[in-house]
Every structure is written in C-alpha cells, then in structure tokens.
Amino acid sequence: MLSKEQVKELLDSVNDPFLHRTIGETGGVKEVNIKEEKKHVSVKIGIGKTNTAEQMQLQQEIVGILKKNGASTVGLRFEQLPDEVIRKYQPAAEEAQEKSLLGGGKHPNFIAVSSGKGGVGKSTVTVNLAMSLMRLGKKVGIIDADIYGFSVPDMMGVEERPAVRGEKIIPVERFGVKVISMGFFVEDNSPIIWRGPMLGKMLNSFFKEVEWGDLDYLLLDLPPGTGDIAMDVHEMLPTCKEIIVSTPHPTAAFVAARAGQMAIKTEHEILGVVENMAYFESKKTGEKEYVFGKGGGKKLAEVLKTQVLGHLPLQQPYEEEDEFAPSVYQEDHPLGKEYHKIAAKVIAKVDE
C-alpha cells in the first residue's frame, strides 16, 4: 500500500492547470491520509482556481495516478492556494496561457484598441498604428475582433482571402501587416446574428487556428463598448495592453472612460489615449477648427491616469492610383507622421 511520502512524491510532479507549475513547486499537497485496511487514500490539494472544468480534469488525473499505484479508492478535496502563492506564479501562468493561445513559442505584445462608442475611428487608428509599427521595423498582425462591425480588410484594400494549409489558416498579408477578420468569412457583407458564446469561439479560432508566425505586435480591433468580445479578450489575454480611442467631444470621452475602467479592473495596462478627429485645419487659411469640441482626450487621460499619445486631425489619405487602401495614411502624409510618433511612443512604453 502507498505511504504518505509516496503519495506526495507521485503528486508533486502533477501540473496546476492555472499556475502552470507543478503541485510540488506550489506546495499544493496540503494533507494526505491513508486507511491501509481499505486501501483508501484521502488528499487535500491546493490549486490556483477551484470549481472549474480544469479542476475536474485534474481530479481525474490524480485519481488515475493513485489507483494505478495501489489505491482502491481515493477521496479528494480542493482548496484555493493562498494569495501570495498565486501572485508569485501568476505572471508565468499568464505568459504560458498566451503562448498556448498562439501555439507556443515567443508570444507577441498584445495591444487592444478600444473605445466606448462606435464612430470614433478606432479601426482607422488600429490600421495606421499597425502600419507605423511595421515601418519602424516591427513584425505586426491585426485581429479584426469587431465581429459585427468588421472593417479592417476594406480599410486596407484587402481583396484576397486567407489560405488554408493543413489545419491552419494563413492570414492575408497587406503592406507587410498580417490580417485576419470576420469579414473574410462572410459572404456579400451579410449581417451576423450570433450569441456571446459563439463570438468567443470565433475569437479563440483567430488565436489558435491562424498561423501567425513570429510577431512583435498583435493588435486587436475590439468592438466598441464593454460587451462579450471585450470580456473574452480580458480573460484570454491577461497581459494585453490597451489604447483607448475617443474624439474631443466630452460625451465621447465620458463613454470611453467605461472601456478604460474595465481595462483597469482587469489589470490591463493602458498605454494611453488617442484623440481622433481632434480638429480640422483649413488648407486655405491654415486655421484650426475644433468641430467636435476640445479637451475630451486630455480629460479622459486624466480620469484613467494615463497620457495622450496623439491628437489626430480630420484629413483624408493621399489618393493613389496604383494602391487602393482608403484608410491607410502614407508615411509622408501629415497624419502618417503623427501615427509614426504614436507608434514610437507605444514601442517605448512597451519596452519600459
């Protein structure tokens, strides 16, 4: 019959599914009792998170190990490990979770671009930030996670569709940036009528089933607000950083603060605020007109205790006959130069 020491030795090599460390490392075997006459082993185990599907799988694994090594019956109790133990191993657990999402290897810097409401230019900011990061020598991908309001392929002038290699989807590459979007899987711009769990599965597929390769940055264009997709991103990517997009209008800034507060509550670092549509500059007079008001971005940054990364005026990209990309600002365009500055600030903040 097994001894207490043997039980502990057998279980010390089992992995805690939440902390991605062995139970031996976390001190997870809390109590072992043995009734030799009945060959019954009773164990109390501490893990990172209780009452989950992962706990059920762990339970089956432990029972299997003990029965294979001589126990006739097994009794298991689970408790949550102390907060200080969880804090100690949490960063490694988060990194392991994100590596597994993209199939192992070095995971990129995840940056979610969010807003409180629609129509503030969040997707435009995502696309042009990605372009500017690429121009600064970074390997960049975009997940168009705005499932209902996907627009990234159209903004970048993407006309092809992703290829499939084996069981992996190969993202479309445009201007050196890799792109995946719900828009690739919908015919004729059809409306999508999905419930929350289905949306979560699609987002999961964008991580696990897409061959992203080696990326430095993966940008997520989130739907506006704080709905299902935003919640899924906060759960899937614990170390994701966020950029909040707003217009200068006080109401837009007030609504955007909700998205920012959600990021703070889930311990996502806010890199800063981008104030879009900050002003219109007349080509004739050079005078600035603040058509959407003034000061919203600064006020929002103060509320969220962060910085304004840039103030972007209302302007169209240059028209180019040979390249169709209606929302991509060229490198020498005034807004292209502004996005370059924003990208440089983002890199500096991420590298801190």
Give the residue from 88, 123, 147 where a domain finishes: 88
- Say if 311 falls within a structural domain: yes
H/E stretch holding 74: strand 73-80
Same domain, 143 and 12: no
In a domain, 93, yes or no: no
**Is residue 320 included in any domain, yes or no?**
yes
Which amino acid makes up residue 227?
Answer: G
The tokens describing 164, both together, are 């499939």
Range of 150's domain? 102-350
Q: List, in order, residues 6 or more apart from 329 with CB less than 8 Å away.
A: 128, 131, 317, 335, 336, 339
130, part of any domain: yes
Same domain? 262 vs 320: yes
Among 38, 60, 88, the domain-final residue is 88
Per-residue confidence in pLDDT tens, the chain, 352 aa = 788 898 899 999 898 888 878 899 999 999 999 888 888 999 999 998 888 777 888 888 899 899 888 888 989 999 999 888 887 876 655 665 565 566 655 678 899 898 877 778 889 999 999 999 999 999 999 998 877 778 898 999 998 888 888 888 899 999 999 999 887 876 665 555 545 555 556 777 888 788 888 899 999 998 776 555 666 666 677 678 889 898 888 777 777 777 677 666 666 788 999 999 998 988 888 888 988 888 888 888 888 888 999 999 999 998 887 778 889 999 999 999 999 999 999 999 998 7
Smallest CA-to-CA distance from 140 within 121, 156, 164 is with 156
> 23: domain CATH number?
3.30.300.130
Same domain assignment for residues 63 and 129: no
Residue 96 lies in a domain: no
Shared domain check, 312 and 242: yes
Q: What is the CA radius of gyration of the chain?
A: 25
Same domain, 79 and 217: no
Whether 58 and 124 map to the same domain: the answer is no
Which residues lie closer than 8 Å to 108 by C-beta, 6 or more apart? 102, 139, 141, 212, 215, 216, 217, 218
pLDDT for 256 equals 74
State pLDDT tens for residues 66-109.
988 888 898 999 999 988 888 787 665 566 556 556 665 567 88
The answer as to whether 95 is a domain residue is no
Does residue 151 lie in a domain region? yes
Tell me: the pLDDT tens digits for 89-98? 766 556 655 6
Half-sphere exposure (Cβ direction) of 108: Cα atoms closer than 13 Å? 22
In a domain, residue 97? The reply is: no
CA 343, CA 349: separation in Å to the nearest integer?
A: 10
pTM for the predicted model, two decimal places:
0.69
* Domain count within the chain: 2
Q: Clarify whether residues 218 and 120 are in a common domain.
A: yes
Last residue of a domain, one of 88, 113, 139: 88
Same domain, residue pair 171 and 194? yes
- Do residues 44 and 187 both lie within one domain? no
For 138-162, the DSSP string reads --EEEEE--SSS--HHHHHT--S--
- Shared domain for 167 and 276, answered yes or no, is yes
> Do 259 and 148 reside in the same domain of the chain?
yes
Whichever domain contains 144, its CATH number is 3.40.50.300
In a shared domain, residues 82 and 112: no
Q: What is the pLDDT of residue 265?
A: 65
